[in-house]
Structure 1
């Protein structure tokens, strides 16, 4: 039997109240609601979908030192199995449900390996197949980061659009909050989307891997 039976309607009510009262004192007074209605279901989902790696929830506080933003995050983010910036991610907010996987933040050496593996006729086609499986399940890659193919690569390369990526993420967003979100069906749907993204994640782990330098791309 699955542990995760969906996010309760009380989770949405909490997020609505948080949007209206986003300050640390209010959050401190309502922390039990956050833990019961968002954190507990998120951890249950993580246990049910442990095949995608361990879940380590982010802190609920935003860093407001350099960017003006609400002090409390108005969503809950659930990262699965992140290694070297590569993994899966689920997010619930009033904007809907996001399911994503891949590598979002890269360093220069990771970008170099990504491009080399995309261009290579031995490894590049496997990524195309992996992305095809993700697309058939309703997950789309984000737009390329570059307008043109990077220097050193043929502009007419058969995988030219992929060469324009500095990061590679496939994702699906439910832009509403459907009723199935409050049932065990939510876990089944999320698991199916992440299963479809798994070949892309495996390819990235095998051919890109974790960063080996400290310089951001």
Structure 2
């Protein structure tokens, strides 16, 4: 069955869960989650798989073992599409609409080292500047862990010092639910991931390689 849209009940479900994050609420509305969140998201991802790769739908339960916040459920449905290693696309369905982006999260210092070496390089770093400038112009926000001043070994007046400050890098934005009615959600995700593809390709070339 193809993707027919995200039902309004999906957004209402997360509005309710944000207000009452309890097991009672969850079990009373489990059918809504299954039919209005999980199944439509799987159908959406199925239509994107040939172009972007296999997706992973995250479990709705939170891992509260080491968290101060013991609320049992995530107030969004998360998805990731791994393009290679720690590089990939991501998507969330939440009460207000969709949240999507792409980038890499460094799980070891070697990835950050490779990233910064590429940013420091005039050709590769210049290409990343063009990519990120384009994404910001298109309405994305650059995100990621960063050092507060400058990374060790790089001058403070480096022409790409802001990008060098990143330990990891992503670009993301939120799309309100009013703009993702019906099959528009598929168009929005596909178009935005296509805009993000140059960033993903750059990261695959310069960061994901081992």
Please give the TM-score of this superposition, normalised by the length of structure 1: 0.87
Q: CA deviation at 1:115?
A: 0.5
**Structure 2: distance between partners of 1:9 and 1:54:** 26
Q: Are 2:116 and 2:164, in contact at CA under 8 Å, matched by a contact in 1?
A: yes
In the other structure, the counterpart of 1:161 is 162
What pairs with 1:145-184 in structure 2 (closer than 5 Å)? Answer: 145-174=146-175, 176-178=176-178, 180-184=179-183
Q: Secondary structure of 2:155's match?
A: coil
Q: Secondary structure of 1:123's match?
A: helix
Q: Secondary structure of 2:21's match?
A: coil
Task: Confirm whether residue 5 of structure 1 aligns to residue 4 of structure 2.
Answer: yes
Q: Are 1:144 and 1:162, in contact at CA under 8 Å, matched by a contact in 2?
A: no
**Structure 1: distance between partners of 2:139 and 2:107:** 24
Q: CA deviation at 1:135?
A: 2.3
Q: CA deviation at 1:167?
A: 0.7
Q: CA deviation at 1:28?
A: 3.3
Q: Are 2:144 and 2:168, in contact at CA under 8 Å, matched by a contact in 1?
A: no
Task: Confirm whether residue 18 of structure 1 aligns to residue 27 of structure 2.
Answer: no
For this pair of structures, how many residues does the alignment match?
A: 208
In the other structure, the counterpart of 1:55 is 55
What pairs with 1:38-187 in structure 2 (closer than 5 Å)? Answer: 38-50=37-49, 51-67=51-67, 68-142=69-143, 145-174=146-175, 176-178=176-178, 180-187=179-186
RMSD between superposed Cα atoms in Å: 2.0
In the other structure, the counterpart of 2:197 is 198
Deviations 1:97-145 (A, max 9, x none): 2111001343211110110000011311121122133223221212661
Q: Are 1:11 and 1:38, in contact at CA under 8 Å, matched by a contact in 2?
A: yes
Please give the TM-score of this superposition, normalised by the length of structure 2: 0.90
**Structure 2: distance between partners of 1:156 and 1:189:** 38
Deviations 1:38-91 (A, max 9, x none): 111111111122212211111110011111231011111121125322101111
**Structure 1: distance between partners of 2:106 and 2:70:** 21
Gaps of 5+ in 2: none
Q: Secondary structure of 2:55's match?
A: coil
Q: 1:136 to 1:5 in 2, by over 3 A?
A: farther
Q: Are 1:3 and 1:44, in contact at CA under 8 Å, matched by a contact in 2?
A: yes
Q: Are 1:137 and 1:193, in contact at CA under 8 Å, matched by a contact in 2?
A: no
Q: Which runs of 4+ in 1 moved over 4 A?
A: none
Gaps of 5+ in 1: 213-217
